[in-house]
Amino acid sequence: MNWKHVHLIFMREMNDQLRDRRTLFTITILPMLLYPLLGMLMMQIAQFNREHTVRIRVVGAENWPAESPLLTDAQQLIPLAGLEKLTRLVEIEAVPWPQDGSPAARTKLVSNSRTAIMADVVDAVLLVEPDFQRLLQQRVASSSQALPASPASTPGESDLVQAETPQAQPDNEDGLELIANLARDNSKIAQNRLNVVLDQWRSNWVAQQLSAVGMNPRLVEPILLTETDTSVSSVRRAMLWSKVLPFVMLVWALTGAFYPAIDLCAGEKERGTLETLLSSPARRREIVWGKLLTISVFSVGSALLNLMSMHLTAGIIVKQLASQGSAQIAEALGPMPIHALGWLVLLLLPMAAFFSALALAVAALARSTKEGQYYLMPLLLVTLPLVALPMLPSLELNLGTSLVPVSGAVFLARSLIEGRYTEALVHLPVVMLVTACCCSLSIRWAIRQFESEAVMFREADRWSMKLWLHQVWRDRGETASPTEAVLCGVIILIGMFFAQFLAGSSIADWNAIVVSTVVVQIGLILTPCLLMAIFLTRSMRHALRIHRPQATHAAAAILIGIALHPSYMALGKGISQVYKIGDETASVLMYFQSLVMAQPLWTLLLLMAVLPAICEELAFRGFIFGGLLRQGGAVRAIVVSALFFGFTHPVLQQSLAACLMGLLLGLIAWRTGGVLCTIIVHAINNTLSLTLAWCAAHQVPLPVTLQWAISADGDEWSYQPEWIALSVFMSLALLVVLFRRNTETRQTVQAEMA
């Protein structure tokens, strides 16, 4: 690659972008103005967001016990200990209880209270029943019967209270009723504040009653927990900022990369300058690198400007809060740690390269600037969950999270910002490897987009359903197109998504399992491929990539299926250790396994080994793989078909293992030129898994001839470590033999397919 050409293209694109006022405003001016304006708006809103006084009407305040009052003589709440500020925010309107004590009068009182709340006269109404004080005395008397008589009490006191108690009970057994309208914020606030005051009053009243009978009032709250925070305030602030800053930075890095990418691809198509650039002596790879460097500069610049603007704005707001008396909030937020900016810059550089290459590849698909802007939302929908995942409090940096693209890098930055350097150093190689792979794949995809004439010179025309259907029927090929292959995979995933909910509530016996398996495999996976192969291609056999395999390929597939299974089982156990299966999922799997293992082995093999191997391979390594392989996209076909294959499995651990197996099956399908060899490998893998599990569940004695390769440990059969290591080398050797295909082999396969 000629880096001089790359430099010339980079300078050309930078000059064009610096002359574009829209790009400059979006990338530079907007970040500098956004956060100060947001800060000013928040400070203005904070003035209206202060705590306001609520109005509470107390009906029957005279019925409250005089020895422990709730209201003062000035008809205000008693300022209980620790609630002085809250009681000042409550305005009390005391109203006497009606003289008429009939049920009709009480019903009218409740109705009037609701009307007053709806008319916004008061925010809440507290009804104190006339029998409230008597109910309290009754409860004290009933509880004192179980206690020894104190010197201050007389033997017949409790009996006197019991005798004077009337038989009629009030409508409210507790003697209190709070009426509020929870659909209004002020009424809900009034209810919460009054509940806090009543809880404190209740604790004080119980303490007084305990003291009256000679007991320790601390029994109300027998244990007082003393909390000691060993963290440093700077570390606490770093934890807060470590969750917010990476999210904001990466969102702006993606946004800052996408708009220049649209202008450098779709914009040049509209201006007619792309053809001139492509006809220059620079190679397509050099053009991509020049544009990629330009987009990366704007991506990094946009993210850095946002971070600096946020840093300055946050510092000003924290100082303002501290000066206004909000010291606790200012201490909790604090200024943005300076060392966090350094770690974020290190995170930004690889992520900006990844987002820039991804945005460039996506923008190359657009035929116009308007169409390119539509692609931003799907890209954000895919990226935002990965960026927001580290904000969850229950997730931390470990081997499982470090393997997740984008999220692993954010977890690493969080650990560095919070000062957990040992943890970050342990997982740094894994994160760097995953990030490097993502950057490499995205750059490779962008280069492939620029090397495709069909992508670069698509014309922007009006879409018509009739013309589109006519074009699809007229331009049918031997295999599906890449778009049709992806559409088929999406249809299968959508069907599997809804089938999971239906199957989860309907599987209760073996017959339901049989029906659901047949419906999923034939109805949801195979049928869409068959229908699309019939209507969208000229040859179903070519579309499904069905041809007679060579004898050597078939023999190699059989040996690979046998030799590969121990490695696959070890891989599944390793994934289960990294990503733990939840208890609920494990119980469902155990119940499902108990139903399945009770059936004859031959039934299981036909239903869960042979049928899935045929249907899934015809779909994923047949129709979808053949469509993605069109126009020379071997890597695209292997990776995308493996992802579709993995996502059809409902359990995460199974999906990861299936994705890795799908990569190998896709490689075999590409080298053999068909799907039958992958069916053999898939069927053998399923057969061996089911056979081992069935034999272990039925306590079948382990044959002596297999003890060198398999060990029986209770209800589980597993492979010996020696055989697992040997199977890895055997699988690699067989794959090497399978991949040694000369020109004569390719010609033979092409002749058979013709």
Amino acid 50: pLDDT:
58
Query: And the tokens for 99?
Result: 């003289």
Using CA atoms, how far apart are residues 636 and 446, in angstroms rounded to an integer?
Answer: 12
Phi, psi of 744 (to 5 degrees): -65, -40
Query: And the tokens for 538?
Result: 């000229």
| Residue 59: its H or E element | strand 54-59
Helix residue ranges per DSSP H, 58-178: 84-88, 103-118, 132-144, 157-164
Q: What is the side-by-side order of every strand in the sheet holding 124-128?
A: 90-95, 54-59, 124-128, 176-180
Amino acid 169: pLDDT:
40
Amino acid 625: pLDDT:
92
Nearest-5° Cα angle at 669, 666 to 670: 85
Amino acid 498: pLDDT:
83
Using CA atoms, how far apart are residues 132 and 170, in angstroms rounded to an integer?
Answer: 9
Query: And the tokens for 611?
Result: 């049928």
Token pair 């295999």 in the structure block, residue: 479
Sign of CA dihedral 145, 150, 155, 157: negative
Token pair 């014309």 in the structure block, residue: 459
C-alpha closest to that of 51 among 197, 178, 192, 200: 192
Contact of 126 with 193, CB cutoff 8 Å: no
Using CA atoms, how far apart are residues 313 and 232, in angstroms rounded to an integer?
Answer: 24
| Residue 719: its H or E element | strand 716-719
Torsion of CA 74, 77, 83, 89, to 10 degrees: -80
User: Which pTM does this prediction carry?
Assistant: 0.68
Beta-strand relationship, 710-713 and 716-719: antiparallel
Up-side HSE of residue 382: CA atoms within 13 Å toward CB? 10
- Give how far Cα 462 sits from Cα of 223, 459, 467, 468, Å: 75, 10, 10, 10
Q: In the chain, which stretches have pLDDT less than 50? A: 149-171, 742-754
Nearest-5° Cα angle at 725, 724 to 730: 95
Amino acid 160: pLDDT:
27
Contact of 519 with 482, CB cutoff 8 Å: no
C-alpha closest to that of 245 among 318, 339, 380, 376: 339
Beta-strand relationship, 124-128 and 176-180: antiparallel
Q: What is the distance between the terminal CA atoms of the chain, rounded to a whole angstrom? A: 39
